[in-house]
Structure formats: C-alpha cells, structure tokens
Chain A
Amino acid sequence: METKIETQTNSNPVASDPAKKLEVKDVSVFYGKFRALTGINIDAYTTQITAIIGPSGCGKSTLLRSFNHMIDLTPKAHVEGQILFDGIDINTKQVDVVDVRRRIGMVFQRPNPFPKSIYDNVAYGPRLYGIRGKNDLDLLVEKSIRQAALWDEVKDKLDQSGLSLSGGQQQRLCIARALAVQPEVILMDEPASALDPISTLRIEELMQELKKNYTIIIVTHNMQQAARVSDYTAMMMLDKEGSRSGTIVEFAETKKIFTNPKDKRTEDYVTGRFG
C-alpha cells in the first residue's frame, strides 16, 4: 500500500514543493451541467491546518469531498483540473481510489460511528487492509484511540457500542477510526458543528496535537474556530455574477485573512458584516 503512489512518483516527475501535501490547481466541480465550483487554487501544507471558510452553500464540502474521491458518490458529479497529492493527480486512471481514501482520511459533520463496539469501530479500517492478528489489532486500536484523546474514557468499555458514547466522544471515536488506517491527510467537514462548546474545545485541542503528524484540512462555518486552529485559511464564496458557482476569494495565512484581508468580501465576512 505504502509504495503504490511512491513508485508512480518516479515515473511521473511532476515538479512540486515537498512542503505542499495537496495542491489544487484550477479545479472546477460539476453536478451534471451545473458548475458548483470554479477555478479553485489552494494548497495544503504538510503538518499544517488549512481551514476553508465561507457562507452556507458556497461549496466548501463539495471541495473537501473532491479531495478523497467522496464526490464520486454523488451521481453525475465530475471534477476538472488537477488535485495533486504528493505531486500525483488523484483523478488520473492509474491512481487507486481506495489508496487515496486510505491516505486521505475523513471526519464528518455528524459523528457517524458504526453500530458496533468501540473496538470494532476502530479495528474496522485496519481489518480492511489485512491486519488480523489480535495483538497487532489491540496495539493499533489502543494507539489510535490514544491519539484521538479518548483512551482514558473508553479503555474499560471497548466492547460497548460506539453509540453509547456522548456526541463529543463519538466524534473522537470517528477520528480514532480514521487514524487507524494510517492516513497522511485528514479532512474534517465541520467536525464540531454538532457538538457542545466543551466537546468543540476538545476537538480543537486534539487538532493541534494531530497536526504534528498529519496534514489537516478543515471546513468550518465558524470563523472563530478557523482563526483559533488553522495556519492557512481559504475564503470561499458564491460568484454572485454569472455562473453562481463557488470560488476562492482569498487564500493566505490565517493571520493575514483575519487581520489584513486583501479582498473586500473577505473583510466583510470575517468582521461579521454579512454571512
């Protein structure tokens, strides 16, 4: 699994900055004939948190879902442009969808633990990739749950249903589940929007911890959250004239976006004048 895309790197020499884990070049997304996103250009840097903010319906989730082929699940959706993951375009035929999804994990808006035990939730992914030995699995499950800062709360009840946990714990369980397949990038689609403030804080702390080892891209409604957790911010908005499709208004370091935005629309949005 590890070597799959690596070998393709040699045969397909695309010049790319090693610090850029994900490069999005001129990406447009269509649902049938409808153009949902136009001319998206952003990068996600290794071990940094990139936030995507913007008003509802501007296509933040669509963009996020195009990074790990989840967009394929929507009928008639298709992506144009290049999404380079370690320099390889994930939308070429040679790239294995499963491999992309394993290396680019995803955490969803609402916690979605499987109706299985806590242990089986986390072990589900590793089992898909042939890790079957009880010792290996035990080790990996514990490591992943620890990484998700959930271990102390669940270590005595790993055989209980994942649904018995609170919302915040369920979301961390989903993070542990994503971490268990050893991803490199984690996509988070408003991971805290269904949670109370304390659970939200724990998720945000967890993100700071995770960014040491992972590249994180988070979609959020909440501008304060983006300001608190992210290193880079992409401001998205619907193009009011013409196509009515989502586009990036501004992409820069988070500090710049929130203190010294170049675009008038970004300024209006982050200062709460609309949106």
Chain B
Amino acid sequence: MTTQFQEIIAKNQSRLSTRRKFTNAFMLSVTGLLTVLALIPLFWIIGYVFYKGGSYLNVSFFTQLPRPLGVEGGGVLHAIEGTIILSLLASIFAIPPGVMAAFYASRYPNTPIGITLRFSTDVLSGVPSIVIGLFVYVIMVKPMGHYSGLAGGVAMGILMLPTIIRTTEEMLKLVPGALREGSLALGAAEWKTSLSVIFPAALNGIMTGFLLAIARAAGETAPLLFTALGNERYDVGSIIRNGIAQKQSIFMILGRIVDQPVDSLPLTLWKYAQQPYPERIQQSWTVALVLLIVILTINILTRLWVEARRRSLQG
C-alpha cells in the first residue's frame, strides 16, 4: 500500500514543484504590483501638493497673518493656531468620555449599556460630519448667538468620539487577562487595576488611536462651517499679550481664545480655493501643504514616542 502511494507521490512531485514555483512567482508579482498601485495615489497626492504649494512656502507663511489681496507676503498663522486650538478642544471634549466609555465597553461588553454603547458608536461613526456641524449649530451656536472655536471644538470632538471609543476598546481588550488577575490577586480594586495596570499596558495602542482620530478631525471642513466659521484676524499671541497687558485672569484669556470664531487649515484651504484670484489659489495649495506637514508631524512625533515607550517597556 505505502509503496504504491510513494510511487504516485514521487511521480507527481517534480511536476507539482514546477507548478508551485510558477504559482508562487506569479502571485508574488501580482501582490507586489497591486501594492505599488495602492501606494501611487498616496505619493501622487503628496508629490503634487509639494509641487504646487512648495513654491509659495516660506517662514512667514507659518508666522504671519494673511495680508489683503495684492499685498506681498503674509501667511496662515491664524489657521495653524486655529487648527491647534480646535484639535486641543476636541481632544479635551472627546478623549476623557471616550476612554471611560471604552473601559466600560471592554469590561462589560454584554450588558445592556455595553451593547447600546457599541451600537451607538457604530451609528455615530456613520453620521455625516456636516450633520454633526448642523447639530452643534443648533445646540450651541444658536443659543450663544455667535460662532465660536468652542462650538467647533465640540463638533470635532463628536466626530472623534467613535474612533476613540472603538480603538481604545480594542486596545484594552488586547491586554492579557492575566495582568488584570495579577493585580486583583494582590487585593487591588477594579478601578485601581484599570488605571495602574491595564491602561498603561494599552497606552501605546490608545495613543495611536487618538492620533488617528485627531488627524482625521483636524482635516475636516464640514463640521466647522456651521460652528467655527473662520476668522482671518484670529491671533492667539495678541489675545494673550492684550490679556496680560489688561491684567485679565487666565480664565478670561482662555475664554477669549475659544469664544470667538476660529479659522482652521482645511477651512482656509476651502475658502481660498473658491476665490477667483490666482494669488489666493496659489496660497490654497500652500495651505494644503502646511496641513499635510502639520498632520505628518503629529503622526511622526507620536510614533516616535510610542516606539520609545515600547522599547522601554520591553527592556
């Protein structure tokens, strides 16, 4: 019996081996080719934005406010500051509740609240960002009577919330249950275990999730149209300087920073690109480039931090 099969196997082996090698080489080239194809849009976009926007890029573009049409120079400092302020506000609004909710969902996934939470997160992540903007317009801008960075931050925060809950929950679930048991077996309370053992163990992945959420929200225009509106004279530096000169309290100054319309890079890009003046269109390319640079910088810094932390934990 065995010898009979041995013969068949030996006979087929050389033929099959050729076919296997061919299939292997073919599939490898197909996957390689498609990988390159998938990378083309990415590098095309980045390359094109650098090509179109690079010529206008200089230091004053990062450090100065816009100048009127026809006046040389000027920059988009207002939009860079606005983007940072909006991202900070959105993080403050979205990260604490998002992380708390994720802890609950990962710890009690099959309770009614856990199931509801997961379902609503899915629904919320499917809501168009313009609708979120409209919602915040109704609940904040209308009652307050004016557009503000605060409302923009809330809109961006709502946009970030599902991403933060989902990624944090996934990362918390990846923490081995043995760590939790190890802490509880020492007599630690559940909250203490979550805070001192599980959260630090999952922090690298959670940070990456924050980053993705912030980068996505920072590039959004739609939720800001009804909320932050835009403000070409927005200048955090002068608000702080004036505040100090007038001896205002820190809360007063912070209030003035967030209580007025705020611009952001994608908003500026959108506005400039619509204008009929070649100068503004040229600037809108440069704004796109600055937006790319800002997001890439956040990305790279966070990844460096995550990598350094991973190394120190692995020893």
Contact = CB atoms under 8 A, between A and B. Distances in A.
Interface of A: 68, 70, 73, 97-99, 101-102, 105-106, 108, 110, 112-116, 124-125, 128-129, 160-165, 174, 177-178, 181
B186 interface: yes
A70 B187 CA distance: 10
A78 B173 CA distance: 25
Contacts of B196: 124
B312 interface: yes
A101 B186 contact: yes
A163 B314 contact: yes
Given A114-B201, A128-B192, A163-B315, A70 B183 contact: no
Contacts of A162: 315
10 contacts: A70-B184, A98-B187, A101-B187, A108-B178, A114-B197, A115-B201, A116-B200, A124-B196, A128-B188, A181-B186
B178 to A, nearest CB: 4
A128 B186 contact: yes
B94 to A, nearest CB: 26
Contacts of A165: 315
B179 interface: yes
Interface string B91-128: 00000000000000000000000000000000000000
Nearest to B178: A112
Contact of B181 (A70, A105, A163, A178): A70
A161 B312 contact: yes
Contact of A68 (B178, B179, B185, B314): B185
Interface of B: 176, 178-179, 181-189, 192, 196-197, 200-201, 312-315
A114 B203 CA distance: 13
Given A125-B187, A128-B187, 8 more contacts: A97-B187, A101-B187, A113-B182, A161-B314, A163-B314, A174-B182, A178-B186, A181-B187
Given A98-B189, A114-B183, A161 B176 contact: no
A128 B184 CA distance: 11
B182 A114 contact: yes
A160 to B, nearest CB: 5
B200 A115 contact: yes
A165 B313 CA distance: 11
A249 to B, nearest CB: 28
Contact of B315 (A70, A125, A128, A161): A161
A4 B279 CA distance: 79
A112 B315 contact: no
Contacts of B181: 70, 73, 108, 112
B186 A105 contact: yes
Given A124-B196, A161-B313, A164-B315, A114 B179 contact: yes
A125 B314 contact: no
B187 A112 contact: no
A160 B187 contact: no
Contacts of B314: 161, 163-164
